[in-house]
């Protein structure tokens, strides 16, 4: 069974300020392992590793990245969130980048040949 996500569903989620804020706050809290109100590089990298991001996003288990290359990839992702360069991501930065990512996904769905939906994950 697959979960199908539409451009309208993503846009509706983003535009529902209360639901979006609550979701972002919950996700942020789960990533903030030490509860200091900031997400460090190590906290985010740990999550990226547990998600098996390359497999999940690109359906590849091994593309030949060395450990240093994988760390560099994670640093690049982290820097997208750390907009002020403070080496830590606060709730506002996290929310803004998540919003940008979701908008990009919605835009991609809207410009795809299907234009109606995107299969997000196999359940």
Tens digits of pLDDT across the chain (123 residues): 456 778 888 999 999 999 999 999 999 999 999 999 999 999 999 888 776 655 555 555 555 677 788 888 889 999 999 999 999 999 999 999 999 999 998 888 777 655 444 444 433
In the chain, the number of structural domains is: 1
> What distance in Å separates the CA atoms of residue 20 and residue 51, rounded to the nearest whole number?
21
For position 69, what pLDDT does the model report? 82
Give the CATH number, domain containing residue 87: 1.10.238.10
Q: Which domain holds residue 112?
A: 2-122
């Amino acid at each position: 069974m697959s979960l199908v996500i539409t451009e309208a569903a993503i846009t509706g989620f983003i535009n529902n300020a209360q639901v979006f804020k609550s979701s972002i706050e919950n996700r942020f809290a789960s990533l903030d392992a030490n509860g200091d109100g900031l997400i460090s590089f190590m906290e985010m990298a740990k999550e990226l590793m547990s998600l098996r991001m390359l497999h999940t996003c690109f359906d590849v288990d091994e593309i030949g990245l060395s450990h240093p290359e994988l760390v560099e990839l994670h640093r690049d992702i982290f820097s997208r969130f750390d907009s002020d360069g403070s080496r830590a991501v606060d709730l506002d930065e996290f929310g803004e980048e998540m919003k940008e990512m979701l908008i990009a996904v919605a835009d991609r769905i809207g410009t795809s040949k299907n234009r109606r939906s995107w299969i997000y994950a196999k359940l």
